[in-house]
Amino acid sequence: MRRPDVVDSVAALRAQVNGWRRDGLRVAMVPTMGALHEGHLSLIRIARKRAERCVVSIFVNPTQFAPSEDLDKYPRQLTRDLDLLATVKADLAFTPTVGAMYPAGFATRILVGGPSAGLESDFRPTFFEGVATVVAKLFLQATPDCAVFGEKDYQQLCVVRQLCRDLDLPVEIIGAPTMRDAHGLAMSSRNAYLDEAELAVARQLNVILHKTAAAIAAGAHGDDTTGEASRALIAAGFRKVDYVEARESLTLAPWRRGRAGRLLAAAWLGKTRLIDNVDVPIA
């Protein structure tokens, strides 16, 4: 299996993408922060079905970390990531340095409204500003035809869609279903921080969300039910629940009966914060 070529400058990235485009090839991008796992590989498999060439960016983006979040401890394992990229036949890895992405004097931030309100933003107020800024940069650097984002980070997916719509970025955004283990636990780099006992608790997150979504769809009152879900998560062993909320699935406006919905949650297990979301079926 051949590792993808690696470029770390925008000039080299553009030269490669422009060459593909001259040959009439469609280009997909999968933005990542590395520490790749099966969830990322599933995004790349989808990208390869939707385009002839696939660029994967690996960049731990400092602007989406709050000072309290440990940017330095975020896992960096480029050699392993490149080996994994070889298994899914990614064509190019883009690995810019922090200095190249944010040179001295960099002073621009992109604020996306709409779907960024509440949920993650209540607990990580500058997170989506950092994500929107880096994703816009990556799209302008790589000029992909399409890009794949996981539904695991559902609010992020909605924010990126809004960003592209509002700024007329000509990139088709493809949402990919969450990869789960045999017990339904959503795959995440953070699962590596959990011991066996914590994993058993973590697996209750999707179980409780599915039960709650079914109860809401069957007519239970949204706020009462999400309150019950928070209590069920604490009873299952979670230390703290940041939110359990039903939202409209396209806009992330507060959910109203009869509309397509999404139930989203974030909860702490020891020092690890897990997020997940499930569909609220239309009854």
Q: Active site includes 40?
A: yes
31 binds ligand PAF (CB under 6 A): yes
Interaction with ligand PAF in 231-250: which residues (CB under 6 A)? none
Q: 40, 183, 210, 221: which is the annotated catalytic residue?
A: 40
In the complex with ligand PAF, the residue whose CB is nearer, 160 or 208, is 160
Q: Which of 81, 129, 153, 242 is in the footprint of ligand PAF by CB under 6 A? A: 153
Q: How far is the CB of 23 from ligand PAF (least distance, A)?
A: 27
Residue 36 marked as a ligand binder: yes
Cα 185 to Cα 204: distance, rounded to the nearest angstrom: 8
131 binds ligand PAF (CB under 6 A): yes
63 binds ligand PAF (CB under 6 A): no
33 binds ligand PAF (CB under 6 A): yes
* Residues annotated in a binding site for beta-alanine: 64
* Residues annotated in a binding site for ATP: 33-40, 150-153, 187-190
Question: What are the residues binding ligand PAF (CB under 6 A)?
Answer: 31-33, 61, 64, 131, 134-135, 153, 156
